[in-house]
Structure 1
Amino acid sequence: MRKKIVAGNWKMNLTLAQGEQLINDIVNAGLKLEDNQAVVIAPPFPYLQKAKSLTQHTEGFFIAAQNCAAEKSGAYTGEVSAEMLKSIGVDYVILGHSERREYFAESNATLAKKTDLVLANGMKPIFCCGEPLAIREAGTQNDYVAKQLEESLYHLPAEEFSKVVIAYEPIWAIGTGLTASAQQAQDMHAYIRSQIAAKYGREVAMHLTILYGGSAKPSNAQELFACEDVDGGLIGGASLVAADFTAIVKSF
């Protein structure tokens, strides 16, 4: 049975006090999670330890970092290594988010290095992929996403790849006024799963968790999560509002 995940990516938002209140509101919302369901919270780096302490006794809750360095250690001022994240109990690390690719020029090769470091330190990557508007309009989105997967993940043996979570971001539908339909989400998720099956076999593909990262909210989460190949969501803005985030979790 595939793991179903709702992950909240806070990005660069909230003070420590606001973040603590948000987590407490979510933890105390009375969410009932099944064994194959999980809530992942990804606060900014300074709040990771606090977030871990607030959720560590709540069944089904996990903590993610929003990024990590591509090097193991050394003279990289301002960077945070995978080993550091492991040492404070981080469970997941988001890699390759569209904002990291666009604003910080993260390449597929760089993300391959980060993926290796996250896995080597016993954490699970949430690997983001997805196409911008120009690629979607050209109709080449499948090839574009397949290349992201191939160049960043396909060097992994099946045992290691099976620990990865994929998050599909239709970048063209985020903050553009355009909307990705549930069918468009399902189509890409199914395509990703088919590509994984071709590379690693059907069993690995059928156990792979693929999240939707296209501005899911309470009003569309249930429709999205009902899609056969959509296993949850990587939530942005709605993760900053306890009522919205918990409503999305309840959409399971």
Structure 2
Amino acid sequence: MDRKFTIVANWKANKTVAGAQEWIKRLAESGKQIESESMTIEVVVAAPYPLLNALRSTPDATLASQDISMFSVGAYTGEVPGELLKDVGVEYCLVGHSERRKYLGETTEMVGKKVDQAIKNKIIPIICAQSGEEIPENVRNYSPEQYLIMYEPFEAISTEGKYHPEDPNKITETLQDWQKHLPAGVQFLYGGSVNSNNVHQILATSNQQLVSGFVVGHASLDPEEFFSIIKRCLLTPSL
């Protein structure tokens, strides 16, 4: 086993406790770590805050939050700090997702503070960026294994799972450019309307050694669709 591939199910503002538990039950049939001869796939579930505690005991997926406070514990009404996320079993967290930047006015400076809080609490931040300018400067203060970076090109974003087939051609060029300005060894995930119909094309078109996984949004809500993405990754030659 010489490679780890991370696939994140970003449920966004979806699912009840019962629905989440049923999804996890279906996942248990395939197992948390799905292996081929050359790689292991780690399944990560980024669930809404109310579901985190209900999912904390599952051995079948690694738990992620969809955000983290830029503050530590204290008088910050409505915030969920890293200390509390870690206490319910969170190992990863999304930071700087395009929807938070668009709808909530989140800035790259704020994202940098969230990165600090995540790493302080031994949570791996998945830093979401549409351009190199959205990657906070302070990531250079940390070793590459302490964080992941997700590339989500603006053109590929869709709430309906639609996808523009020409987008994968930009992945290699973009990530190679980002590599020039980041510490050696940084791992990149790809997000942007990933589904079972286009995942093979994304992998075939991009430099597979640059892409270490996916963040799946709309398509992750259906467990069968999500598992199809995993299977197609395992069947992709040279992955």
Common fold, TM-score beyond 0.5?
yes
Q: TM-score, normalised by structure 1?
A: 0.81
- Residue of structure 1 in register with 2:237 after alignment: none
More strand by share: 2
Match of 1:148 among 131, 134, 157: 134
Q: 1:237 to 1:127 in 2, by over 3 A?
A: same
Q: 1:76 to 1:39 in 2, by over 3 A?
A: same
Using the alignment, how far apart are the partners of 1:178 and 1:9 within structure 2?
17
Q: Is the 8 A contact 1:97 1:129 kept in 2?
A: yes
Q: TM-score, normalised by structure 2?
A: 0.85
Using the alignment, how far apart are the partners of 1:3 and 1:195 within structure 2?
24
Q: Is the 8 A contact 1:44 1:65 kept in 2?
A: yes
Q: 1:124 to 1:155 in 2, by over 3 A?
A: closer
Alignment map for 1:89-104 (pairs within 5 Å): 89-104=89-104
Using the alignment, how far apart are the partners of 1:220 and 1:188 within structure 2?
19
* 1:18 counterpart = 2:55: no
Query: Which letter maps to 1:185?
Result: I
Aligned identity (percent) is 31
Q: CA deviation at 1:94?
A: 0.4
Q: CA deviation at 1:76?
A: 1.6
* 1:33 counterpart = 2:35: yes
- Residue of structure 2 in register with 1:210 after alignment: 188
Deviations 1:148-196 (Å, cap 9, x if unpaired)? Answer: 22xx14454242x431111111123223866153212232223222332
Q: 1:71 to 1:109 in 2, by over 3 A?
A: same
Q: CA deviation at 1:231?
A: 1.8
Q: 1:233 to 1:76 in 2, by over 3 A?
A: same
Using the alignment, how far apart are the partners of 1:153 and 1:13 within structure 2?
32
Query: Which letter maps to 1:108?
Result: T
- Residue of structure 2 in register with 1:186 after alignment: 172
Q: Is the 8 A contact 1:215 1:235 kept in 2?
A: yes
- Residue of structure 2 in register with 1:108 after alignment: 108
- Residue of structure 2 in register with 1:125 after alignment: 125
Q: Is the 8 A contact 2:156 2:167 kept in 1?
A: no
Q: CA deviation at 1:6?
A: 0.6
- Residue of structure 1 in register with 2:141 after alignment: 157
- Equivalent pairs counted in the alignment come to 223
Q: 1:148 to 1:62 in 2, by over 3 A?
A: same
Query: Which letter maps to 1:157?
Result: N
- Residue of structure 1 in register with 2:48 after alignment: 44
12-21 vs 1-10, greater mean Cα deviation: 1-10
More helix by share: 1
RMSD: 2.1
User: Which structure 2 residue ranges, 5 or more long, are not aligned?
Assistant: 234-239
User: Which structure 1 residue ranges, 5 or more long, are not aligned?
Assistant: 131-144
Task: Say which SS state the counterpart of residue 231 (structure 1) adopts.
Answer: strand
Task: Say which SS state the counterpart of residue 77 (structure 2) adopts.
Answer: coil
Task: Say which SS state the counterpart of residue 53 (structure 1) adopts.
Answer: coil
Q: Is the 8 A contact 2:118 2:124 kept in 1?
A: yes
Q: CA deviation at 1:23?
A: 1.3
Q: 1:153 to 1:38 in 2, by over 3 A?
A: farther
